[in-house]
Structure 1
């Protein structure tokens, strides 16, 4: 089963929590999950101020700056993993340094089989 592990973080704390030790923990986890074959992809995201929200209403495209939600915590990055169980995905999420200071969400990826239009 595939799981998307979403890392949420508060940009105001990034300077405090994103020191090299946090990055080293992510790099070590990446290496371990690559070795086990569980890691499909992982990427950090740029600062939320670089976000663009796109909407189409009545065929008119509009773009606004900034993240859609007014929140203190934003999506900071993700891991796409393939695990045998949800418990294993939660175990992986709990090892992320971000889980100690903000939130990490584990979400199953929907299987698209049978959804043909």
Structure 2
């Protein structure tokens, strides 16, 4: 079964994190991603740019509306996504508990309902 591990955390301000802290986080996520890959459960992983680069698109009443910035202002933002193929929720939760992002933010574990693969939707 597919699960998305959605990492949420408070975005640091410019210069708030030292280069050493950033390098350590990159190292920790590299170790984590390699472990997921070696276990054969990693489908993909993406780290997102800060929310200041967000563009929000809506289509209401026949009109397309494009605006800069996230739709909602929150203390925590979606920072990245790991997509896993694991046997069950327990396995997904176990991997989420090993995610470095769980140390300073929240890792939401959400089952994938459908996937678009090889030209078609699958459940």
Out of 20, 24, 29, the residue aligned to residue 26 of structure 1 is 29
Q: Equivalents in 2 of 1:84, 1:34: separation in Å? A: 15
Name stretches of at least 5 consecutive residues in structure 1 with no aligned partner.
none
Out of 91, 103, 106, the residue aligned to residue 103 of structure 1 is 106
More helix per residue: 1
Deviation per CA, 1:11-66, whole angstroms, max 9, x where unpaired?
A: 12672695211211111111111112100000100010000111112221111111
Which aligned segments of 4 or more residues in structure 1 are displaced greater than 6 angstroms?
none
CA RMSD of aligned residues (A): 2.0
Deviation per CA, 1:54-111, whole angstroms, max 9, x where unpaired?
A: 1112221111111111101000000000111211111111111211111110000014
The alpha carbon displacement at 1:113 in A equals 4.6
TM (norm. structure 1) is 0.87
Name stretches of at least 5 consecutive residues in structure 2 with no aligned partner.
115-120
Equivalent residue pairs, number = 114
